[in-house]
Amino acid sequence: MFKFEKYLLSRIPVGFSNGLRNIKILCEVLGSPQKSFESIHIAGTNGKGSTAFYLANILQAHGASTGLFTSPHLVSVRERIRINGKMISQSELNDVISQVERAAKVAKIEPSYFETLTAAAFLWFKQNNILVAVLEAGLGGRLDSTRIARGKFAAITSIGLDHTELLGDTEEEILKEKLGIVKKNAILVLGDLPRALLAQCPPYEKAKKISPELQVGNFGKIYVKNAEIAWTVAQEFLDSTFNEKKARAVLKNAVWPGRMQMLKNFILDGAHNPDAAEILAQCLEEKKLGPLPCIFASLTDKDTEGVLRALKPHISVCHPVQVENPRARSVEEILEICEKLKIKTTTENFKNKTPILVTGSLYIVGKVIAELCGEAVDLTEF
């Protein structure tokens, strides 16, 4: 085990830091690395990871040295921190985490897991003299650790009911939290938000409808829409240097792993809330896939019944599994929900069935990827 892994594990019990005090202090001790590059923030209930990924691909195709910070990871924590598509190495992550650990001791604070990784990403980006960082908000926006980075551009992909215990019980409350990521006078790009929510937003750019339609490596129209958001942000950021041909070419082969991804005999998608499950269902309908055998896992703080209800027409038989996570739902709990919804279940492994849908949680998606591709998987090689 690398030293950084031990320290990160010690950060998990700290939980969620409800404020920006720790990350501000950490970065001050580290020399304010977040001030050394431009930042573009991507927030939203669903779609923010793929949008950030597509945007980073467009920017680096234009020759901009581009950092990308996303969460969660599927197999390795190194996936979260990348420059020009390449993950941070084990030794580099060990070095920056060690510096964050020392800074925390100097400041006499106990940073969370996410605060630690955010500070480490900022530090690595500074060390490598990047031009711009595309930052996916971890949770919400107003109190998200990435918020302390400076940035004149932001995007909100979608609004739905998720993490309600922290962000609020209504879409209006959740939008308010996510808008907190947007700096004063920043250019804001929005995805398809309900008209009632648009009225609450500051001046914004709607994602431009690209004709003919863009192509991306993930399948499903929703990913084309996310690429359109990325396209619009890139146009605003690059201005006169934006090259449509370069943008189209790089998006065509851009695959955001674990989301509507075909990998060997599996369809992988980490749909973990009802909105994401509805999107998955739409994508399966578009491809005329299903009903499919499904390996399914979920966490106790997720609306598992809502997810399974949305996916019911597309599941021929469900094989529930329990992931290695303190919040994981048990197989028995998932079986009870399936019985309530009249979804056929099995506890036997699928044999000679293809394709197999893997969904309900990014944890189970990551486990399947690790078993298929190995623990040291590089997302750029998918």
Interatomic CA distance for residues 368 and 358, integer angstroms: 8
User: What's the confidence (pLDDT) of residue 378?
Assistant: 54
Interatomic CA distance for residues 232 and 55, integer angstroms: 9
Q: What pLDDT digit, counting tens, does each position of 18-29 carry?
A: 789 999 999 999
Q: Mean of the per-residue pLDDT values for the chain?
A: 90
Q: Span 106-123, mean pLDDT?
A: 96
Cα distances (angstroms) measured from residue 263 to each of 68, 252, 257: 23, 17, 9
Burial of 376 (0-12, 13-18, 19+ CB in 10 A): exposed
Q: What pLDDT digit, counting tens, does each position of 29-53 carry?
A: 999 999 999 999 999 888 999 999 9
Confidence of residue 141 (pLDDT cuts 50, 70, 90): confident
Confidence of residue 84 (pLDDT cuts 50, 70, 90): very high
Q: Is the pLDDT of residue 103 over 50?
A: yes
Q: Span 137-157, mean pLDDT?
A: 88
pTM for the predicted model, two decimal places = 0.89
**Rounded to a whole number, what is the distance in angstroms from the first to the last CA of the chain?**
25
Within 8 A by CB and 6+ apart from 164, the residues are: 174
User: What's the confidence (pLDDT) of residue 382?
Assistant: 41
Instruction: State which amino acid sits at residue 5.
Output: E
Q: Span 300-305, mean pLDDT?
A: 93
User: What's the confidence (pLDDT) of residue 294?
Assistant: 96
User: What's the confidence (pLDDT) of residue 92?
Assistant: 96
Compare 374 and 220 and report the one with higher pLDDT.
220
Q: What pLDDT digit, counting tens, does each position of 307-330 carry?
A: 999 999 999 999 999 998 888 999
- With the C-alpha atoms ordered 115, 121, 124, 129, is the resulting torsion angle positive or negative? negative
Q: Which of 119, 126, 187, 198 shows the shortest CA–CA distance to 158?
A: 198
Cβ–Cβ < 8 Å for 61, 71: no
